[in-house]
Amino acid sequence: MSRLPAPMRALNTVGRAWRAAGMPARKLDPDALIQTAMHDTGLSDIGDPAEFRPGLDQVCTALEQLPELPTTGRFAARRQILRALRQRLRRREWLAQRPREFAKELRAPVVVVGLPRTGTTFLHRLLAASDNARALPMWEVAMPFPPLDGPDKRRQTGVRGAQMMKRVVPDIDRKHTTGADEPEECMHLQDEAFLSWSWFSNYPIPTYTRWLQQADPTHAYRVWSDVLRFVQGREPSARLTLKSPSHTAWLDALLDHAPDARLVWTHRDPAEVVPSFSSLVATTRGVSTTRQTADPHALGREICDHLAWLAERGMSHRPRIATGQLIDISFSSLRSDPLGTVAKIHAHFGIPWTPSTAQRVQAEIDGRPRGRHGSHQYDLSEFGLSEGLIQQQFGPYMALGLYK
């Protein structure tokens, strides 16, 4: 667990003193949060509660049931929930006021999937550097819809948010390079459905993780499709270039909404994936976890179980994917020959590979040397795991041998 900056530790100390004096913490109440989001936006059409309320209730209940949610975590959760609800209200306003913005069918996006920590981020950013590619930067996945009237200050807000995150979680770039203008995971578009890895990645709520595995993703992918059609309508000549490991479990829902999607599936030895992702999640949960409540072994078991489920679900969908619609990429080949790997993907999908594209991708490779923010150290034992357990959990996936 990374050490929080001094001002945030001081805030948590004040919060503990406040609660010790018998003063109540501000509750994460779903109804009150919805009303606040409506007040903030001046909008009232929240839509069918069945589309988002089950997930919202799960998140709020799980957070309130934690043995201790530090003040920083409560502030962060409230901010993130309100952003998701405002996003939902604004999407529905655009749909009602400007339906033609969403009218076109979604053309074939390139989508990077696979277990996390398999090179998905690096490959996504290389593919996004290609000519005519259109990725979604962090600020846009957080706030995909500008105001219908008035100035668009989403990027400025996103830059401030990214700067704040780096101050709050100074260790983040060593494990996962971020930035307001960096291509980011499109799973965040689904935050408003409250069916997204955003929630369990930031908060120690394993009950939500288990709920997520049983939830119906249909509405979350309808939201995802709405946003992508909106973006595509504004830049019709661009090739949407996306990524999120979370899609691996729901490839059926993704293909229902983007039947021509071009899928790039990355692979790496799960014995490296699981501790690496556990280490990252330990960092992203830093503001919502205390040293007294942090349990790396419990985190390791949670992450191992979830990623084994993800791999199994992804494998079950492979037979549905049409020949030529999927390409498998190993982490080792991506690292040893990144330019050749991107060229191979272009050739597989019939995407033009020009001298300009090669130059742009090589410049991206040169600008992202491995370990430029420091070395990311992790191992299985840190999280109470072993290679035998990984083999047991991931045996069918490992038998495919795609990570070699």
Summarize pLDDT for 323-367 with one digit per residue, the tens. 899 999 999 999 999 999 999 999 999 999 999 999 999 999 998
**Cα torsion for 33, 34, 36, 37, to the nearest 10°?**
120
pLDDT at 176: 65
**Which residues make Cβ contacts (< 8 Å) with residue 153, sequence separation at least 6?**
none
pLDDT at 212: 96
Q: What domains, with CATH codes, occur in the chain?
A: 6-399 (3.40.50.300)
Tell whether the model's pLDDT for residue 171 goes beyond 90: no
Within 13 Å of residue 317, how many CA atoms lie on the same side as its CB? 23
Tell whether the model's pLDDT for residue 246 goes beyond 60: yes
How high does pLDDT run on average in the chain?
A: 91
pLDDT at 280: 92
Tally of residues, the chain: 404
Q: Model confidence at 286, in pLDDT bands (50, 70, 90)? A: confident
**Which residues make Cβ contacts (< 8 Å) with residue 45, sequence separation at least 6?**
89, 92, 93, 96
Tell whether the model's pLDDT for residue 172 goes beyond 80: no
Q: What is the mean pLDDT of residues 165-179?
A: 71
pLDDT at 24: 63
Summarize pLDDT for 57-101 with one digit per residue, the tens. 999 999 999 988 888 889 999 999 999 999 999 999 999 999 999
CA-based nearest residue to 201, from 322, 134, 286: 286
Summarize pLDDT for 11-35 with one digit per residue, the tens. 666 666 666 666 567 799 999 999 9
pLDDT at 374: 62
163 vs 236, higher pLDDT: 236
Tell me which of 132-141, 143-152, 160-169, 220-229 is least confident. 160-169
Q: Is 98 exposed, middle or buried (0-12, 13-18, 19+ CB in 10 A)?
A: middle
Tell whether the model's pLDDT for residue 234 goes beyond 80: yes
Summarize pLDDT for 109-133 with one digit per residue, the tens. 999 999 999 999 999 999 999 999 9
398 vs 178, higher pLDDT: 398
